Amino acid sequence: MAETTKTAKLTIDGESFDLAMYAPTDGPEVIDIRKLYAQAGVFTYDPGFTSTASCDSTITYIDGEAGVLTHRGYPIGQLAKESHYLEVCYLLLYGELPSAAKLEEFETLVTRHTMIHEQMHNFFRGFRRDAHPMATMVGVVGAMSAFYHDSTDINDEHQREVASIRLIAKMPTIAAMAYKYSIGQPFVYPRNDLDYASNFLRMCFSVPAEEYEVNPILARAMDRIFTLHADHEQNASTSTVRLASSSGANPFACIAAGIACLWGPAHGGANQACLEMLREIGTPDRIPEFIARAKDKNDPFRLMGFGHRVYKNFDPRAKVMKESADEVLDLLGVENNPTLQVAKELERVALEDPYFAEKKLYPNVDFYSGIILDAMGFPTSMFTPIFALARTVGWVSQWKEQLADPQLKIGRPRQLYLGEAQRDYVDIEKR
């Protein structure tokens, strides 16, 4: 816990209360209100928790005004360019970049855990054939507690470690199987000779009837998507995982809760919304019409994939994602794909328009990730499952950190009650 730096004074009806203040490594100071109700008999009111620090953490830091995102102090741009997903996983889990020997050991450990229990195949087949892959993932990940009893004791440090590796290792397999099931194709088993991203692409797109060779450019782009979505501080799904964990729930239930939260279109569905917008625009010649609509305050249309709720500047993940998008589009071509043609032209027009620059509405990570996934051949129904796959390590890291926190208490938010005051029950004959 951070040390007290100074004291804030709160005055209510002439009575003053001293509240401790803490200084973080980065970011604004925080006021400790844990004893506020006991001392002053009042709660704070903060819908959406936008001004409330629900925990202290050493994992990820965001400065939305400056466009900064760091993991354990390392800027996301450096990690996305110089590192790769499993190395970032190690960093998030253990706090430091690994040595070459440690990284090899970690990669081998993850690779050896990518298969799922064979009986879990029957669980997939219990879903309707047209089930959304996210619905399947919520169910299957939650059901892992029924198959892996030796890693559900949250008070056992070794079991927590085993659960962490299993979730990171098996999530690509589960996501790929959810996809294969949704399109009626046979499941493809993971292969230990492939890297994490290549393995996932092969499990999604190969079929038993022919050989499948993963293109290294696509694998690198996939790895970057994973890396850029690995963790994002105390967002809705991460907070959901932490809240579920605070009750003592097993790790698989907690991560399933995170997946369910991520499914919401205001959270994990942003890149899907962006792609649907591009398809609505249809052709590059219609872009001026939609740009004009985006500037019209009376028009409900909004450009999806531009700007970000957290970042009031350029999304630090977007620059690297744009490079990957350019590489993928150069490889696969956009000439015969009207959606990708619209994306490239819309990006150019928006970046040159003073209106968007003034309002800092730059293309964000969702704009480029949706373009890449679409070009690779993923349907929009798989965008959020891929996000969940990538974010699993962030959820797991936050879950482990919380369980090791001696200040851990079950989450119990308060409320501003505006319902009826207490009243007496009236017999039905008298109503």
Q: In one letter, which amino acid is 71?
A: H
Cα distance between residue 289 and residue 307, in whole Å: 20
3-state helix, strand, coil in the chain (%, to 5): 55, 5, 40
Are the C-beta atoms of 282 and 338 separated by less than 8 Å? yes
* Phi, psi at 4, each rounded to 5°: -65, 130
Cα distance between residue 137 and residue 176, in whole Å: 10
The helix/strand/coil state of 152 is coil
Residue 238: how many other CB atoms lie within 10 Å = 26
Q: How far, rounded to the nearest angstrom, does the alpha carbon of residue 300 sit from its chain's CA centroid? A: 27
E-assigned strands of 3-56? 4-12, 15-22, 30-31
Are the C-beta atoms of 133 and 259 separated by less than 8 Å? no
* Phi, psi at 15, each rounded to 5°: -100, 135
DSSP string, 204-230: HH--TTS-----HHHHHHHHHHHHHTS
Q: Which residues are catalytic?
A: 308, 366
Torsion region of 128: left, alpha or beta (phi above 0 gives left; psi -120 to 50 gives alpha):
beta
The helix/strand/coil state of 182 is helix
User: Which tokens belong to 55?
Assistant: 């925990």
